[in-house]
Every structure is written in C-alpha cells, then in structure tokens.
Chains A and B, each alone.
Chain A
Amino acid sequence: MSMVSAAPSRRRRVKIDPWRWVGRFFLLFLLTFTVLPMLWMVLTSIKSQFAAMQYPPQWWPAEPTLQNYAKLLDPNGSTGQEFLRYFWNSFYVSMVTTILGVIVAVPAAYAFSRFTFPGRTFLFFSVLLRNMFPSVVFLMPLFLLMRWMGLVNTHGSLILTYLTFGLPLSIWLLKGFFDNIPIQLEQAARIDGATRFQAFFFIVMPLSTPGIIATSIFSFIGAWNEYVYAYTFLSKQDSMTLPVGIQRFFTEFATDWPGLMAATFLMSVPVVVLFLVLQKYFVRALTEGAVKH
C-alpha cells in the first residue's frame, strides 16, 4: 500500500518503518487471539461427540457433520423444541425491550437536551451512576418486587428490569445526538407554524435516526445477552431465555460439548449479524459521550 501512495520521485520516504512492522505483528497476534477460540467453537460444533473427545484432538474434523445443528433446529425433536423455544423467548424479550425502550427514551432524552427543569442535573447523574452498580446487588430487591407484582416467571419481569437498566444508557446516548441538532431548525419550523410536537416529530426525529438505530442495537444486544436476572426470575423451563436455557441444556447432557458449541454458535449469530450490519452505529454509540471532539 505504501508503494501506491509514494510516487517514485519520493522514493527516499519509503524506508522501513519499524513501528509499522511492530503494529502489523501486534495486529496479527490480536487477530489470532480473537479468532482462534471462535474457530475452535465452530470446528467442535461440526464434530461428532466421539470425534470431539479425543486426545490429541482432531485439529480438523475428519468427518464434518451438521447433526448437532440439525438436532438443535429440528422442531419435532425434544432438544430442538426446547432450543427453539428459548430462542423465541430471547427474541421476544429483546424485541419488546428495544421497542419500548425507544418509545420512552426518545422523549426523555429530548427533554434532557432541550429543557431546563429543577433537578435536571441531579436526575441526569443519578441516571448515569445507576450504571455503575452490579446487577447482583439489585437482584434481591427486584426479585421481591416482582413477586409482589406477581410477575415472577413471566417475560414481563425481564422486560421491565431490562428497561430500568437499559434506559439510562439509551437516554444518555440519545441526548448526545439531540444536542448535536441545531435548535434553530426547530425554531424555524415553529415560526412556520408547526407545533412543538410537529417540529420534534418531523424535524428532530428524522435527523436523529442514526442515534435511534444506535440505541436500539445497544438495547437489543444487552437484552439478548443478559444472564443474571433471567437466571433468577425465570424458573419455568418454557419461559427461559437462551443464556439460561443453554445452561440447563449443558448440565443435563453434561458431556455434549459439540452440541453446546453448536448452541453457543447459534446463540451468537443474531447479535453478531446485527453488529456487523449496523457496525457504524454501534461504534458510534459506544464512543459517544466519552470522547469529546
């Protein structure tokens, strides 16, 4: 690449830059470190139980098979039924959390961005500080609360909890996006006779679409991966989400590593695909607020 950018006349600048090589080797090392575990997961998932339990291991599966995936995705088999149930539960909970989260976070963030009201700063930082506490600390009080409301073993309990925990972050992210939209645009619309709501809905909302997408991915991935609450609130098997369900699966068939690897693979597919497709927004959401330009 350096050859392309450096014209022949500037030859003398094309000398070996040791730092660049250090960087390349470092990246190669990181790539290996990142990819090898994932590669081994995939390789194991296409082995039979017998092939996986060998020492020394079969570095490359001698007889690759898709039977583990077939078993998990077969709607007629008992394993498949269970797995697909967990998958659907995870999807349902994450989807509802995301949609409700956006509906609540958008107006809230707009208010934080545009209005001043008593206690605004306090409210904002309390919202931020919430993020600093481990979920385990809130388990007991929330569990008692859910029992009191009769929500234990329902998806409602999870959705409600995820909203409580996801909203602060969503509001924080969206506020950053709203802050970047010039208020003059709204004022111009107001002068032209739009109500505040119309100005918000037709001017601000379309401009903040990237922010809304970013927040949605964040809350979807968060809800999909959440484990602690799902583990505590749900004990009925047919309401479990994937992270918890997969564990049951593992302890029941204690040694079925290929099956487990296939399950973890399928479990990672939705979030990884979502991330790869909407990467730009995800990265922006991650860094928004912390990096001042």
Chain B
Amino acid sequence: MKDKVFIGLDNYARILTSRSFREVTMNTFIWTVASTFFAFLLGLGAALSLHREFLGRGVLRAVLLIPYVVSAVAASYVWKWLYHSDFGVIGALAVQFGLTDRPINFIDNIHTVLPSLIVVNIWKEFSFAMIMLMAGLQTVPDQLLRAAQVDGANAWQRFWHVTVPHLKGVSMVTVLLLMVANFNAFIIPWIMTSGGPAGASDIWITQIYTIAFGRQRYGLASAYSVILFIVMMTLGYFYVRALTRGDDTRVK
C-alpha cells in the first residue's frame, strides 16, 4: 500500500485473462440460473397448488416459508450435516434405497458440489417465489376464468391464456429479485465449502472475498467488484423497469 502506482487497466486485464475467471464465471452463471429457475418453478407449482382454499392451507404455507426466514448460516450447517460424507443422512438414505453402494460424498467432490449447494439454495428461497406468485394469482379476475370455462376452455387453456398473462409482471419482478439474490449469495457457498474443493464451487462473490480478505489484493478485488457492479447495474435497469412498467401503462 506504500507505493501507489497507477497501473491503468492492468487489474482488469489480469482478471479477464486468468483461467480461474472463466471457471468462476461459469460457476456463477450455473449457480444463478439454476437456482433461479428451479426456485421459480417450485414456487410457481406451490402457488398454483395452494391457490385453492382447503383445510390446512395456511399452516402449509407457513411451514413452507420457514426455510426462507431462518438464517442462511443455520441452513448451511444443517445441510452440511445432511451431506456429511460418513454420517450424512442423504447418503445413508441413498444406500438404503439401493441407489448407491456407498454413501456419496456430496460436497468434497468437484462434480457434485455445485449442484448440492444449488439444492440448498433452492430449499432456502423457493418459498419466496411462492409467496410472490400467490399474491399475483389473487389479481387474476375470477370472472375471466369462469368466462373462459363457459367458452369451453380446459384447465390447461385457462391457465395458459388467462392466468399466465396476469402473472407476467409479478414473475418478472420475482425472477429479477431471485437472480440478484443468487448472484450476490455469499453465506451458503462460503460456510459450506468456501469455494472448494479446488474452486469447484467458487462464485464471483466468494472469489472477491478470498482475493480481498484472504490474499489481501485489494486492487484486484476492487476491479472485480467493478465488473460485478456493471452486471448488477444491467439487472438493476430491468428491475426498475419491471417495477415501473405498471405505472406507465396506467398513465396511458
């Protein structure tokens, strides 16, 4: 930190050309897209199934929401224990059902670690999508659905031509918020693997943290953060647009 030398875009060049950057970016991409996609899908399914009134609906909704409220630190430890290589319950169950001969070592294997972490992330956040979409479903007018039924539309057609268009706005916002949250996720990968083994679960955020606080390379970490900033600004633009879209159409 003593000699401050202006090095231009060297840090950026170093990052963009390094091999680890490509790997980490790939991981970040898989992590963000897969988590968002499945969390949204499960959330949508749950919202549709919970839309109809039935006994115990409120209780079920509350139970499904618990993972979203508990701390990610607690969730990470619990799942770390579930995935434990020797005494993990998931491995034991897999053996019990005859899927494998020996317990699978989920988080110490470079091929299974990222999917395993994504499952934890989905467990934690799918109910967020569920709540948002449940609220969205309430804005679908009943009369329209009934009218479609009178006109002879079957369940699928009613869903596709009436419900889906009404959910568009909420879905946009939900997907964007999930993407942002996943892109910025730090706790689950950090506590469960710290990016390991061999960088197989390293994403941008954990990488930045390691560069800055592990290796003390603040310049490099800052350059990384700026790249991240640009990506976030792009997402942010769409977020604000999705939020204000309703206003525009109403003014017209």
Contacts and interface: CB of A to CB of B under 8 A. Distances in A.
Interface of A: 1, 17, 19-20, 22-24, 26-27, 30-31, 33-35, 37-38, 40-41, 44, 52-57, 125, 128-129, 131-137, 139-140, 221, 224-225, 227-228, 232, 242-243, 246-247, 250, 257, 260-261, 264, 267-268, 271-272, 275-276, 279, 282-283, 286-287, 289-293
B74 A267 contact: yes
B82 A37 contact: yes
A290 B174 contact: yes
A128 B240 CA distance: 8
Contacts of A279: 62, 65
Contact of A246 (B66, B73, B126): B73
B92 A31 contact: no
Contact of B64 (A31, A40, A272): A31
Contacts of A267: 71, 73-74
B62 A276 contact: yes
Contacts of B177: 290
A287 B129 CA distance: 10
Given A34-B64, A40-B89, A276-B62, A291 B46 contact: no
A34 to B, nearest CB: 5
Contact of A44 (B65, B81, B183): B81
B187 interface: yes
Interface of B: 42, 45-46, 48-50, 52, 54-55, 60, 62-67, 69-75, 77-79, 81-82, 84, 86-87, 89, 92, 95-96, 103, 123, 126-128, 131-132, 135-136, 139, 155, 169-170, 173-174, 177, 180, 183-184, 186-187, 191, 205, 208-209, 212-213, 218, 221-222, 225, 228-229, 232, 235-236, 239-240, 243, 246
Contacts of A129: 236, 240
Chain A contact surface mostly: helix
A261 B75 CA distance: 10
Contacts of A133: 184, 229, 232
Contacts of A26: 45-46, 49
A140 B221 contact: yes
Given A134-B228, A290-B170, 10 more contacts: A1-B54, A30-B42, A37-B79, A134-B184, A136-B208, A227-B187, A247-B73, A260-B81, A271-B69, A291-B135
A217 B87 CA distance: 37
A282 B61 CA distance: 12
Contacts of B92: 55-57
**In the complex, the 3 A-B pairs of residues with the closest C-beta atoms, listed nearest first:** A23-B49, A134-B184, A225-B71
A30 B64 contact: yes
Chain B contact surface mostly: helix
Nearest to A134: B184
A257 B191 CA distance: 15
Given A26-B46, A225-B73, A268-B71, A54 B81 contact: no
A23 B48 contact: yes
A216 B228 CA distance: 31
A268 B74 contact: yes
B71 A291 contact: no
A132 B49 contact: no
A134 B205 contact: yes
Contacts of B174: 290
B70 to A, nearest CB: 4
B55 A224 contact: no
A261 B132 contact: no
Contacts of A135: 184, 186
B66 A283 contact: no
A269 B113 CA distance: 29
A31 B127 CA distance: 11
A49 to B, nearest CB: 11
A99 B186 CA distance: 27
Contacts of A261: 77-78, 81
A133 B204 CA distance: 13
B71 A34 contact: no
A140 B212 contact: yes
Contacts of B139: 291-293
A53 B88 CA distance: 9
